[in-house]
């Protein structure tokens, strides 16, 4: 489970194993949404409630019905969901999250989207990856959620990458810890879609290189590692990754070994990628985001080039 807490940003997955059934678009009425939101806030006594933490964060007005059309274990502790969102007015920017409304559950979840906007445009599907936690929305996803379960979602967040054709090309450095990979994977997949579009049409947004630094406890907790390596192999001159494990106890597979470093991501690794054309996106445990955002500031990276989101 993850509750968005702090966002600082100066700019402001696609495994498709399941075939989603078509469903009629269904929009929640404003009265139903108001009742659901107020009830959720009143019933939840938690100081770390997602709605309370993000009360001042920008949200879209559209609250869309969604249906679970795929679910799988992404790691021993993380479950991946595919949601069909038929409402054509529902959209998001790479890196944003959703308020996650569950019928019968008073607490509203907050989960980053890990798929690209292009997947939604083409298939009306978004992906979430939710870590097991003793929190009602996460417990429901891990213990009760089933195919065709109906929920509702609303997009929010000011942590995103949304370049326009007239913008100057930028390099990206993405720094992820644990399930903090989710919004960064959405950004990574979006940049891959932009590269494909530019290669096929010669137009659209121009994006520079992307380097992903991603740390987890062990290789089994490195989420979406095959998806990441597929993008690295597809765009060897544009996308690179450095995968870190901090408590590895088993042998690392031959396929992963060239990309794995045992130990935490270091300040020097990040500093080597500093340039005036580079934007930094950080998402992970609060101590990690605090450390790297501060180190980048100390290295004279402009604050508007450092974007981070903390998730508890």
Write the CA distances from 181 to 8, 45, 51, 78, 301, integer angstroms. 17, 29, 22, 12, 22
Per-residue pLDDT, 203: 83
In which band, very low, low, confident or very high, does the pLDDT at 311 lie, cut at 50, 70 and 90?
A: low
Q: How confident is the model over 130-158, as pLDDT tens digits?
A: 999 999 999 999 999 999 999 999 999 99
Q: From the options 3.40.470.10, 3.50.50.60, 3.40.50.360, 3.40.50.80, give the CATH code of 170-310.
A: 3.40.50.80
pLDDT at 259 over 70: yes
Q: How confident is the model over 291-306, as pLDDT tens digits?
A: 999 999 999 999 999 9
Q: How confident is the model over 199-250, as pLDDT tens digits?
A: 998 888 999 999 999 999 999 999 999 999 999 999 999 999 999 999 999 9
pLDDT at 8 over 70: no
Q: Which superfamily, per CATH, for 58-156?
A: Translation factors (2.40.30.10)
Six-digit token string for 279: 């934007």
User: How high does pLDDT run on average in the chain?
Assistant: 88
- Domain ranges, ordered by start, for the chain: 58-156, 170-310
């Amino acid at each position: 489970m993850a509750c968005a807490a702090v966002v600082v940003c100066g700019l402001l997955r696609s495994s498709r194993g399941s075939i989603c059934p078509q469903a009629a678009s269904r929009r929640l009425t404003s009265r139903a949404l108001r009742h659901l939101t107020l009830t959720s806030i009143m019933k939840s006594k938690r100081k770390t409630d997602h709605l309370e933490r993000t009360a001042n964060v920008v949200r879209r007005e559209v609250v869309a019905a969604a249906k679970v059309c795929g679910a799988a274990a992404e790691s021993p502790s993380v479950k991946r969901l595919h949601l069909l969102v038929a409402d054509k007015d529902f959209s998001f920017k790479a890196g944003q999250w959703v308020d996650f409304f569950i019928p019968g559950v008073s607490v509203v979840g907050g989960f980053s989207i890990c798929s690209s906007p292009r997947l939604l445009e083409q298939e009306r599907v978004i992906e979430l990856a939710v870590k097991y936690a003793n929190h009602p929305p996460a417990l429901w996803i891990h213990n009760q959620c089933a195919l065709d379960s109906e929920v509702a979602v609303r997009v929010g967040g000011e942590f995103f990458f949304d370049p326009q054709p007239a913008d100057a090309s930028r390099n990206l450095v993405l720094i992820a810890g644990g399930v903090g990979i989710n919004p960064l994977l959405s950004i990574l997949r979006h940049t891959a879609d932009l590269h494909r579009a530019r290669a096929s049409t010669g137009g659209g947004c121009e994006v520079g290189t992307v380097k992903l630094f991603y740390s987890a406890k062990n290789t089994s907790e490195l989420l979406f590692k095959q998806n990441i390596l597929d993008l690295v192999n597809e765009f060897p001159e544009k996308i690179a990754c450095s995968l870190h494990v901090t408590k590895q106890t088993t042998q690392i597979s031959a396929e992963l070994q060239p990309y794995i470093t045992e130990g935490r991501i270091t300040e020097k690794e990040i500093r080597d990628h500093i340039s005036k054309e580079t934007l930094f996106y950080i998402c992970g445990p609060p101590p990690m985001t605090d450390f790297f955002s501060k180190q980048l500031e100390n290295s004279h990276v402009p604050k508007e080039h450092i974007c981070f989101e903390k998730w508890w």
